[in-house]
Structure 1
Amino acid sequence: MKTWITIFYFAVFVPDISFCAISLNAKNLKTLRDGRKYLQPINPFSLKKLRHSNLNLPKFYDLQKEYPDCISLKNIKNQRNCGACWAFASTGAYADALCISKNISVDPSPQYSMNCDKFCPPEPYQDRCDDGCKGGTLYMSTLWLNENHIVDEKCFPYAADKKQCSSECNASDVQLQKYPQMCGGTLRDNSVKGMRAALYHYGSLLVGFFVYDDFNQYHGGVYKQKTGRQTDYHAVRIVGWGEEDDGSPYWIIQNSWGENWGEKGRFRMAAGINDCIIEEEYYFFFPCDEFEG
């Protein structure tokens, strides 16, 4: 299976609000994007549901409403003062797909990824490895989960700090259980239509976006970047979409800053314009037998 690589790195936090990024200038951004030459995205026709899909997708779709029994979509986590958004977003996307495709509801442990995921990109980006509160990458965290799966939050409760990797749960009365394998990847099609189709069939989309000063003032509504400087980069997952009264599309996005932030822990963001490069790349998980090569 082929996918592409992201070398956007999630690492930095500021007081009271945690991000997961380093500041990137135009030269660095071009260099990091060039990292994608190593791997290529999946052809949509390689996945059964996308190959055989002729659905007219609805104007409004929210995974949380469609799958109310999926605890990963219901629980809004809080990464606190730790730059581990990459672990929250990737384990959440894996758990969402597992619940949607196999009806297995799991409250995933980002701590397990923080402790044990030390995957590094190929040269020359090996200084951007997944590393607990110091940050991680979308591509590497997806790849690591492909091989190592997720475990339950009860096994490794969140500590807002990287701990020693262990094959035994923190609680003596809990057994480590790795849930079924899901495969992860991205598509060549990063249009709104393509992203909606992947989300509709398989589950939430793991994405990252530039954080600007005006995002720090978000309290509700559809966010569209207007003012301020770019300060950080943050990993989240897209869990739905909708349209404003004038027909303008938006994404529904689950954050990891607690349920008291934004719209009960989520926010909406303008879609179709690659605002803050949120549509630049995305990853999602699916049953491995869906892939037909």
Structure 2
Amino acid sequence: MPLLGSLSVLMVVFTSMVPGSSKLSAFENFMKQFNKSYTNQEEFQYRLSVFSKNLDVAKRLQKEEQGTAEYGVTKFSDLTDEEFRRYSLRPVGALPPTTLKESRTAATSEYPTCDWRKAGVISDIKNQGKCGSCWAFASVGNIEAQWGIIGHPRNLSVQQVIDCGPCDAGCRGAYAWDAYITVLKEGGLATDEAYPYVGVRNTCMSNKFAKAGWIHDFIMLPQNEQEMASYLGNKGTLTVCLNSTLLKYYNKGVFHPGSCKPATDHMVLLVGYAKDNKKKPYWIAKNSWGIDWGENGYIRIFRGKNVCGISKYPLTAIVNPSENQRITCPK
């Protein structure tokens, strides 16, 4: 039976299923806010049950939170953990290539804060949808930013990386090094306008479009947040991995959960760092879940404690090693 405008009736039917009516009211608001609909009463009942359980988890996380993060209703609140994992990495192998170069950067206090968004080199927030392509979005976002930092902003094709990447990757997940190897192999990336995102893996069409951005190499930094901040402030953005499990419940604030395993399954782009009004340091990370998640598509993550494994794989593309940086990171 289709769910047609009969929410008031369903609310009466299911009020007895939820302790009080607050969760049912919250679910109704959630449906309206995120334009959710369900095909029949059975699905409505199931999603209401999942929503209720997710609110209980969010409440527990709020009690355990060590930072200023606020947890609650998000667009993922009607999804089970298994369903939510489709937005994460599902790679076959998680070890970086043995040829991957490591770069050491002396930590410096020259840039106590940094926000590359203010320099106009960070492209708009995008939405990966139900494709596990966070690895491609973070990596392409890094390449775009590095081009912008040398004075040539770009908006490049994520879809090309998905189509032309490793045969077992695409929407199934991969890592930044897979994206960079693909860009090197293909000789660069087309623009996003020419080769737009569709959210499924298709036949590689790299040779049909002119290349608008390319890289010379890529490097991995040590698993050290001071060195990561130094590189970010002096040379540009970084792709990082982290455990995304608790991001399902995140609304805003500096994310510092009471417990988060360092088992990484998601990639984001670090675009800056700063301290809050209590002098607590944090990263500014660009996600690929749309502007209706987190802080308009971004998340602030506590810096210095390897929260959710964020320091495990910090990587960046090298766009042009012979050209001096033209833009300094705005405060």
TM-score range, shorter chain: 0.7 to 0.9
Distance, in Å, in 2 between the alignment partners of 1:228 and 1:177 is 40
- Distance change >3 Å, CA 197–CA 227, structure 1 → 2: closer
Residue 98 of structure 2 is aligned to residue 38 of structure 1: yes
Q: Counterpart of 1:242 in 2: which secondary structure?
A: strand
Amino acid of the structure 1 residue aligned with 2:141:
G
Q: Which of residues 243, 256, 259 in structure 2 aligns to 1:210? A: 243
Whole-angstrom CA distance in 1 between matches of 2:210 and 2:207: 6
1:239 aligns with 271
Q: Which amino acid letter does the alignment assign opposite residue 86 of structure 1?
A: W
- Shift of residue 95, structure 1, vs aligned partner: 1.0
Residue 19 of structure 1 is matched in structure 2 by 87
- Aligned partners of 1:138 and 1:206 also within 8 Å: yes
Indicate conservation of the 8 Å contact 2:86/2:131, yes or no.
yes
Pick the aligned partner of 1:56 from 106, 109, 114.
109
Residue matched to 1:283: 315
Structure 2 Cα separation of the partners of residues 197 and 230 of structure 1: 22
Structure 1 residue 36 displacement after superposition: 5.3
Tell me how large the CA RMSD over aligned residues is: 3.0
2:213 is aligned with 1:179 = yes
Counterpart pick for 2:204 among 165, 169, 173: 165
Task: Report the CA distance between 1:201 and its aligned residue.
Answer: 2.7
Counterparts in 2 of 1:113 and 1:130: CA distance versus 1, 3 Å: farther
| Contact persistence 2:101–2:219 (CA under 8 A) | yes
Which residue pairs with 2:176 in the alignment? 138
Q: Give the deviation of 1:192 after TM superposition.
A: 2.3
SS of residue paired to 2:311: coil
- Over 3 Å counting, the alpha-carbon distance change for 1:199 and 1:130 in structure 2 is farther
Distance (Å, rounded) in 2 between the aligned partners of 1:23 and 1:146: 20
Match of 1:83 among 128, 132, 140: 132
Q: Using a 3 Å threshold, how does the CA distance of structure 1 residues 77 and 18 change in structure 2: closer, same or farther? A: farther
Helix, strand or coil for the counterpart of 2:231?
helix
CA offsets, 1:190-242, max 9 Å, x none? 32221112212332101110122x32111100111225889971111100001
- 1:98 counterpart (144, 147, 167): 147
| Structure 2: runs of 5 or more not aligned | 1-80, 324-331
Aligned-pair identity in percent equals 24
Distance 1:268 1:14, change over 3 A: same
Cα distance in 2 for partners of 1:219, 1:116 equals: 34
Q: Residue 231 and residue 278 in structure 1: after superposition, are their counterparts in 2 closer, same or farther (change >3 A)? A: closer
Match of 2:230 in 1: 197
CA distance in 1, matches of 2:117, 2:85: 24
Describe the superposition over 1:126-147 as per-residue Cα deviations: whole angstroms up to 9, x where unpaired: xxx6521111122222222234
Cα distance change of structure 1 residues 179 and 228 upon mapping to structure 2, 3 Å threshold: closer
Shift of 1:289: 2.9
User: Is 1:272 paired with 2:304?
Assistant: yes
- Checking the alignment, whether the CA contact within 8 Å between 1:222 and 1:268 is kept in structure 2 is yes
**Aligned residue identity for 1:96:** A
Contact 2:164 2:182 (C-alpha < 8 Å) held by counterparts: no
- Secondary structure of 2:234's counterpart equals helix
Seen in structure 2, the aligned counterparts of structure 1 residues 150 and 202 have a Cα distance that, compared at 3 Å, is farther
Richer in helix (by share): 2
1:125 matched residue in structure 2: none
Contact 1:60 1:242 in 2 (8 A): yes
Supply the distance in 1 between the matched residues of 2:239 and 2:228 (Cα, whole angstroms). Answer: 11
CA change 1:84–1:278 in 2 (3 A) is: same
Q: Secondary structure at the match of 1:289?
A: coil
Between the aligned partners of 1:228 and 1:98, the Cα distance in structure 2 is 34
Cα 1:36–1:137 change in 2 (3 A) is closer
SS at match of 1:98: helix
The question of whether the paired residues in 1 share the 8 Å contact of 2:157 and 2:191 is answered with yes
Shift of 1:79: 0.3
Q: Which moved more, 1:240-249 or 1:76-85?
A: 240-249
Three-state SS of the structure 2 residue aligned to 1:219 is strand
- Which amino acid counterpart does residue 138 of structure 1 have in structure 2? A
